[in-house]
Amino acid sequence: MARDPRYDLLFEPVRIGPVTARNRFYQVPHCNGMGHGHPHAHAKMRETKAEGGWAVVCTEEASIHVSSDISPYVEARIWDDHDLPALELMCEGVHRHGALAGIELVHKGPSCANLYTRETPWGPSHQPVNSYDPIQVRAMDRADIRNMRHWHREAALRAKRAGFDVIYVYAGHDISLPMHFLQRRRNERTDEYGGSIENRARLFRELIEETKDAVGDRCAVVVRLAVDELMGPEGLTSETEGREVLELLGELPDLWDVNISSWYNDSQTSRFAKEGFQEPYTAFVKKLTTKPVVGVGRFTSPDTMVSQIKRGVLDMIGAARPSIADPFLPKKIEEGRPEDIRECIGCNICVSGDFLITPYRCTQNPTQGEEWRKGWHPEIIQAKASVASVLVVGAGPAGLEAARALGQRGYAVHLAEATEELGGRVNREAKLPGLAEWARVRDWRLGQIEKLPNVEIYRASRLAAAEIREFGAAHVVIATGSAWRRDGVGRAHSRAIPGFERPEVFTPDDIMAGKLPARGPVVVYDDDHYYMGGVIAEKLRQAGFEVALVTGADTASAWTANTLEIKPIQKRLIAAGITLLVKQEIAAFRRDHVALACVYGGPATTHPCNAVVTVTARLPEDALYRELVADKAALDEAGIRSVQAIGDCWAPATIALAVYAGHRYARELEAPVAPAVPFRRELPREVV
Ligand code: ADP
Ligand code: SF4
Q: Tens digit of pLDDT for each residue in 536-573?
A: 999 999 999 999 999 999 999 999 999 999 999 999 99
Alpha helices, H only, 237-381: 241-249, 263-266, 279-282, 302-310, 321-325, 329-334, 349-355
User: How far apart are the CA of 253 and the centre of ligand 2, in A?
Assistant: 31
Q: What residues does 220 pair with on adjacent strands?
A: 166
Residue 440 has pLDDT above 60, yes or no: yes
Looking at the CA of 324, name the nearest ligand: 2
Q: Tens digit of pLDDT for each residue in 243-279?
A: 999 999 999 999 999 999 999 999 999 999 999 999 9
Do residues 212 and 11 lie in contact, with contact meaning Cβ atoms separated by under 8 Å? no
Taking the C-alpha atoms of residue 397 and residue 366, their distance in angstroms, rounded to an integer, is 11
Burial 512-532 (b: 16+ CB within 10 A, else e): beeebbeebbbbbbbbbbbbb
Edge-to-edge strand order for the sheet containing 136-139? Answer: 122-123, 136-139, 127-128
As a whole-number percent, the residues of the chain with pLDDT over 90 amount to 97
Tell me which residue of 457, 336, 432, 398 sits closest to 665, measured CA to CA.
398
pLDDT at 688: 56
Strand 389-393 with 412-416, pairing: parallel
**Cis peptide leading into residue 262 (ω within 30°):** yes
Do residues 29 and 59 lie in contact, with contact meaning Cβ atoms separated by under 8 Å? yes
The mean pLDDT of the chain is 97
Q: Is the CB of 624 under 6 A from ligand 1?
A: yes
User: How far apart are the CA of 364 and the centre of ligand 2, in A?
Assistant: 6
Q: Tens digit of pLDDT for each residue in 207-249?
A: 999 999 999 999 999 999 999 999 999 999 999 999 999 999 9
User: How far apart are the CA of 399 and the centre of ligand 2, in A?
Assistant: 20
Q: Is the CB of 416 under 6 A from ligand 1?
A: yes
Write down how long the chain is.
688
Q: Tens digit of pLDDT for each residue in 57-89?
A: 999 999 999 999 999 999 999 999 999 999 999
- C-alpha 184 chain-centroid distance: 31
Residue 686 has pLDDT above 70, yes or no: no
Taking the C-alpha atoms of residue 635 and residue 672, their distance in angstroms, rounded to an integer, is 22
Q: Is the CB of 647 under 6 A from ligand 1?
A: yes
Taking the C-alpha atoms of residue 277 and residue 304, their distance in angstroms, rounded to an integer, is 11
pLDDT at 650: 98
For ligand 2, pick from 329, 364, 442 the residue to mutate: most ligand atoms within 8 Å of CB.
364
User: How far apart are the CA of 319 and the centre of ligand 2, in A?
Assistant: 12
Average pLDDT over residues 185-196: 97
In one letter, which amino acid is 511?
Answer: I
| Coil/strand/helix, residue 605 | strand
Taking the C-alpha atoms of residue 596 and residue 548, their distance in angstroms, rounded to an integer, is 12
Taking the C-alpha atoms of residue 419 and residue 434, their distance in angstroms, rounded to an integer, is 24
**CA-closest residue to ligand 1 atom 17:** 394
Quick check: is 266 catalytic? yes
Radius of gyration of the chain (CA): 27
Taking the C-alpha atoms of residue 579 and residue 546, their distance in angstroms, rounded to an integer, is 9
| Coil/strand/helix, residue 200 | helix
User: How far apart are the CA of 528 and the centre of ligand 1, in A?
Assistant: 21
Alpha helices, H only, 560-651: 566-575, 623-630, 632-638
Mutual angle of helices 142-162 and 84-96, in 10-degree steps? 50
Q: For residue 440, give the ligand 2 atom closest to its CA.
A: 8
Average pLDDT over residues 507-529: 98
- C-beta atoms surrounding 356 within 10 Å: 13
Catalytic-labelled residue, pool 69, 266, 526, 648: 266
pLDDT at 27: 98
Mutual angle of helices 241-249 and 202-215, in 10-degree steps? 40
Do residues 415 and 392 lie in contact, with contact meaning Cβ atoms separated by under 8 Å? yes
For ligand 2, pick from 343, 358, 363 the residue to mutate: most ligand atoms within 8 Å of CB.
363
Catalytic-labelled residue, pool 83, 152, 165, 170: 170
Taking the C-alpha atoms of residue 439 and residue 426, their distance in angstroms, rounded to an integer, is 6
pLDDT at 636: 98
Taking the C-alpha atoms of residue 394 and residue 642, their distance in angstroms, rounded to an integer, is 17
Q: Tens digit of pLDDT for each residue in 110-151?
A: 999 999 999 999 999 999 999 899 999 999 999 999 999 999
Residues 6+ apart with CB under 8 A from 87: 59, 62, 76, 78, 103, 159, 162, 163, 164
Residue 491 has pLDDT above 60, yes or no: yes
Residues 6+ apart with CB under 8 A from 19: 100, 165, 166, 218, 219, 220
Residue 173 has pLDDT above 90, yes or no: no
Q: Tens digit of pLDDT for each residue in 576-601?
A: 999 999 999 999 999 999 999 999 99
Residue 366 has pLDDT above 70, yes or no: yes
Looking at the CA of 300, name the nearest ligand: 2
**Cis peptide leading into residue 672 (ω within 30°):** no
Categorise residue 401: left if φ over 0, alpha if ψ from -120 to 50, beta otherwise.
Answer: alpha
**CA-closest residue to ligand 2 atom 2:** 347
Note if the pTM is more than 0.95: yes
| Coil/strand/helix, residue 320 | coil
Taking the C-alpha atoms of residue 424 and residue 534, their distance in angstroms, rounded to an integer, is 20
pLDDT at 437: 98
Q: Tens digit of pLDDT for each residue in 284-304?
A: 999 999 999 999 999 999 999
Spell out which residues line ligand 2, taking CB within 6 angstroms.
321, 324-325, 344-350, 362-364
Do residues 51 and 327 lie in contact, with contact meaning Cβ atoms separated by under 8 Å? yes
pLDDT at 687: 63
Residue 172 has pLDDT above 90, yes or no: no
Q: Tens digit of pLDDT for each residue in 305-350?
A: 999 999 999 999 999 999 999 999 999 999 999 999 999 999 999 9
**CA-closest residue to ligand 2 atom 3:** 362
Q: What are phi and psi of 400, to 5 degrees?
A: -65, -45
Taking the C-alpha atoms of residue 414 and residue 412, their distance in angstroms, rounded to an integer, is 7
Tell me which residue of 357, 266, 362, 264 sits closest to 560, measured CA to CA.
264
Q: Is the CB of 419 under 6 A from ligand 1?
A: yes
In one letter, which amino acid is 399?
Answer: G
Q: Which domains does the chain have, with CATH numbers?
A: 5-12+20-355 (3.20.20.70), 389-481+621-668 (3.40.50.720), 486-618 (3.50.50.60)
User: How far apart are the CA of 396 and the centre of ligand 1, in A?
Assistant: 6
| CA 138 to each of CA 5, 10, 89, 194, 617: distance values in angstroms, whole numbers, following the listed order | 56, 46, 36, 15, 47
Quick check: is 173 catalytic? yes
As a whole-number percent, the residues of the chain with pLDDT over 70 amount to 100
| CA 521 to each of CA 427, 545, 572, 594: distance values in angstroms, whole numbers, following the listed order | 28, 6, 19, 11
User: How far apart are the CA of 297 and the centre of ligand 2, in A?
Assistant: 13
pLDDT at 674: 87
pLDDT at 35: 93
Do residues 598 and 583 lie in contact, with contact meaning Cβ atoms separated by under 8 Å? yes
Catalytic-labelled residue, pool 30, 31, 174, 344: 31
For ligand 1, pick from 349, 414, 480 the residue to mutate: most ligand atoms within 8 Å of CB.
480
For ligand 2, pick from 362, 531, 563 the residue to mutate: most ligand atoms within 8 Å of CB.
362
| Coil/strand/helix, residue 222 | strand
CA triplet 617, 619, 624: central angle to 5 degrees? 165
Assign 1 a pLDDT band (cuts: 50, 70, 90): confident
Average pLDDT over residues 391-409: 98
Q: For residue 348, give the ligand 2 atom closest to its CA.
A: 7
User: How far apart are the CA of 347 and the centre of ligand 2, in A?
Assistant: 5
**CA-closest residue to ligand 2 atom 8:** 344
Looking at the CA of 461, name the nearest ligand: 1
Catalytic-labelled residue, pool 173, 180, 414, 529: 173
Tell me which residue of 592, 593, 576 sits closest to 584, measured CA to CA.
593
